[in-house]
């Protein structure tokens, strides 16, 4: 895990949430699905996924919709729209870290 250096200050990692990206491939009229494991990194000033980076001030909330026994969808509510991520484990501690350290004035 890495830290962000901004203006000489270390913006340390607050929390990490694993998620999966389902990759679908069509080959010879057969559809195969593969899951690629990825991680969401929450820092004091931003949230970073494999292909997206959101500044903390652009995130209004993070929510979770459980589907099945273990996992569900994690939603990142931003000023650019809502981004969803499939998770196999509870993101409660990740959401709590966000609300305690990033959006503490709102919750």
CATH number of 9-101: 2.30.29.30
Q: Does the model's pTM come out above 0.85?
A: no
State both tokens at 22: 């389902």
Q: From CA 33, how far away is CA 24, in angstroms rounded?
A: 5
What are the CA-CA distances from residue 15 to residues 1, 50, 65 (Å)?
Answer: 10, 15, 19
Inform me whether the pLDDT recorded for 6 exceeds 80: no
Average pLDDT, integer, range 2-26: 75
pLDDT value at residue 27: 85
Determine the pLDDT at residue 70. Answer: 75
With a cut of 50, say whether residue 8 has pLDDT above it.
no
Residue count of the chain: 107
pLDDT bucket at 47, cuts 50 / 70 / 90 = very high
Indicate whether 87 pLDDT > 90.
Answer: yes
Tell me the CB-side half-sphere exposure of residue 46, using CA atoms within 13 A. 13
Q: Is the pLDDT of residue 2 over 70?
A: no
Greater pLDDT, 54 or 25:
54
Taking the domains of the chain in order of start, what are their residue ranges?
9-101
Distances (CA, A) of 22 to 35, 58, 78, 95: 5, 26, 22, 23
């Amino acid at each position: 895990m890495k830290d962000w250096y901004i203006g000489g200050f270390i913006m340390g990692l607050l929390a990490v949430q694993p998620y999966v990206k389902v990759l679908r491939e069509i080959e010879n009229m057969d559809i195969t699905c593969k899951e690629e494991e990825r991680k969401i990194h929450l820092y004091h000033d931003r949230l970073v996924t494999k292909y997206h980076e959101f500044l903390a001030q652009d995130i209004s909330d993070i929510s979770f919709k459980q589907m099945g026994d273990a996992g569900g969808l994690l939603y990142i509510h931003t000023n650019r729209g809502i981004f969803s991520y499939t998770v196999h484990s509870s993101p409660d501690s990740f959401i709590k870290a966000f609300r305690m350290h990033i959006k503490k004035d709102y919750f």
